[in-house]
Amino acid sequence: MSNPVRLGFTGLGSRGGSLLESCLSMSDVEIAAICNRSDERREQILARVADAGRPSPSTFTDHGTMLSAANLDGVVISTPWTDHVPMAIEALEAGVYVGLEVGAASSVEECWELVHTAERTGTHCMFLENTCYFRDCLAIRNMIRAGLFGELVHCRCGYGHDLRSSLHRTDASGESLAWRGRQNRHRNADLYPTHGVGPMAKVLDVNRGNRFVSLTATATKSAGLAAYAEENLDPDHPAAGIDWAIGDVITTVLRCANGETLTVTHDVSLPRPYSNMFHVQGTGGIWKRTFESLSGGEVKTESAIYLEEESPGHEWEDFAPYQTGHEHSVWEAYLEAGVKNGHGGIDYLTLRDYVRHVKRDARPPIDVYDAAAWMAVTPLTEDSIALGGEPVSVPDFTNGAWMTTEPPVGEPAHEMTADLDL
Ligand SMILES: NC(=O)c1ccc[n+]([C@@H]2O[C@H](COP(=O)([O-])OP(=O)(O)OC[C@H]3O[C@@H](n4cnc5c(N)ncnc54)[C@H](O)[C@@H]3O)[C@@H](O)[C@H]2O)c1
């Protein structure tokens, strides 16, 4: 496709705005349409697009209307979670390639509906899980493919992020909790599994020779959010005195068809620094993130490794030399050209991979089956917790195709370097 890719953006809050900002620097992308409920926000975005010297996009307040009127190649959806799947389905029905922001599914049924709609329409949906593009996670995938970890046995991951202040925010009325707080008020589940599960599912070849079979989930009591409100909110604040459903720390163990386990932790209601808690372990050695810092658009990480064949004694080694020794070619090119802002550069890489696949109308590296299997962790943990930690089955959203799909589908391809538009 020689013409620019015509993208629409639905949901232009903090995330949608920053994704659109990343696209403004891409010469092969036209910001063709924007859709947001707030007049003020649409005006802000139009001003930003004009400042960047780009043509003014059409504006909409309704996603469906935008899909039928704007002649889009792709649409990036960054709305609150309950709208994600219904909006993605509307776009698939309209033949528009979906870029879907991450979030919790409302039910397993809606995950099936997403998969069935993509299959019936033949339209693609890429799940924009930016953490899959972390520099260290891609190097680890290279090392696993090279056999350095032997046979994989166990992985760990999570979402540790102090959200106490943002979960107490109110909506535009000022009288009720905003959408994310509402989810935490009413659901006891791992509400944000995919930042951790995504990269580890890639490591474990989930949906490509492996799959999640079942999970158990256990929640602690809920104490952190109430303690925060007591300390920080006026007693007449709409979010004061809430009886929160969400447990402070939710621990899930996913079991894979090939016998590995993946432990996932959801931890957003207690004071703590940010962490994705990555850990990969096999018969040949072990890797884990030891330090993570997320501030503004910057991400800093350190990690440690022990490989039986290479590391001295039984001592952890700094991962840095292994990182450079096993760098993914996309990151080699990216580092040379200059890494762009947005979660340490991963936001831009994710969007570039999306645009690259929209241009070719090709199956994306993080596809509708990944989206379904990873997002379904939320309602499945909700069920398991409600059953006192009983195991629940994870559906095979691929309907058996995981047994014959080769692992390389799902890798950010090395040809992507030519397409980075740096
Ligand atoms: N991948 C990441 O690193 C990352 C980071 C932050 C947020 N997110 C995800 O991005 C999504 C949005 O998060 P956010 O923090 O920007 O939320 P937000 O509340 O700041 O923004 C949501 C926007 O959607 C608009 N909106 C709501 N309903 C709409 C509708 N029916 N039609 C059109 N617009 C509508 C709202 O007006 C608002 O501007 C969430 O799914 C979140 O999980 C991902």
For 355-421, the DSSP string reads HHHHHHT---SS-HHHHHHHHTHHHHHHHHHHTTS--EEPP-TTTTGGGTS-TTBTBPPGGGGGG--
Which domains does the chain possess? 5-130 (3.40.50.720), 132-331+368-410 (3.30.360.10)
d(CA 198, CA 213): 16
CB 260 within 8 A of CB 154: yes
**Ligand 1 atom closest to the CA of 87, numbered from 1:** 31
CB 12 within 8 A of CB 36: yes
Task: State in Å: Cα 16 to ligand 1 middle.
Answer: 6
3-state DSSP assignment of residue 146: coil
Task: State in Å: Cα 150 to ligand 1 middle.
Answer: 40
C-alpha Rg value of the chain to the nearest Å:
21
* Pocket lined around ligand 1, Cβ cut-off 6 Å: 10-16, 35-38, 41, 63, 78-81, 83, 101-103, 130, 343
d(CA 200, CA 204): 6
Task: State in Å: Cα 296 to ligand 1 middle.
Answer: 17
Task: State in Å: Cα 19 to ligand 1 middle.
Answer: 11
Ligand 1, atom 18, lies closest to the CA of 13
Tokens of 412: 């950010």
Task: State in Å: Cα 106 to ligand 1 middle.
Answer: 16
Q: Which pLDDT belongs to residue 333?
A: 92
Q: What is the pLDDT along the chain (422 residues), one digit of tens a residue?
A: 468 999 999 999 999 999 999 999 999 999 999 999 999 999 999 999 999 999 999 999 999 999 999 999 999 999 999 999 999 999 999 999 999 999 999 999 999 999 999 999 999 999 999 999 999 999 999 999 999 999 999 999 999 999 999 999 999 888 899 999 999 999 999 999 999 999 999 999 999 999 999 999 999 999 999 999 999 999 999 889 999 999 999 999 999 999 999 999 999 999 999 999 999 999 999 999 999 988 777 889 999 999 999 999 999 999 999 999 999 999 999 999 899 878 889 999 999 999 999 999 999 999 999 999 999 999 999 999 999 999 999 999 999 999 998 766 667 777 777 777 76
Number of H helices, E strands in the chain: 15, 15
Q: Which pLDDT belongs to residue 409?
A: 63
Quote the distance between the C-alpha of residue 381 and its chain's center.
17
3-state DSSP assignment of residue 338: coil
Ligand 1, atom 28, lies closest to the CA of 79
Q: Which pLDDT belongs to residue 42?
A: 97
pLDDT of 245-265, one tens digit each? 999 999 999 999 999 999 999
d(CA 73, CA 358): 7
d(CA 280, CA 203): 8
Please provide the distance, in angstroms rounded to a whole number, between the alpha carbons at the two ends of the chain.
19
Claim: this prediction has a pTM higher than 0.95: yes
Tokens of 157: 């991951």
Report which secondary-structure segment, H or E, holds 23: helix 14-24
Residues 6+ apart with CB under 8 A from 262: 154, 155, 156, 157, 197, 200, 201, 204, 212, 253, 254, 256
Pocket test for ligand 1, best of 65, 79, 130, 353 (most atoms within 8 A of CB): 79
**Ligand 1 atom closest to the CA of 18, numbered from 1:** 16
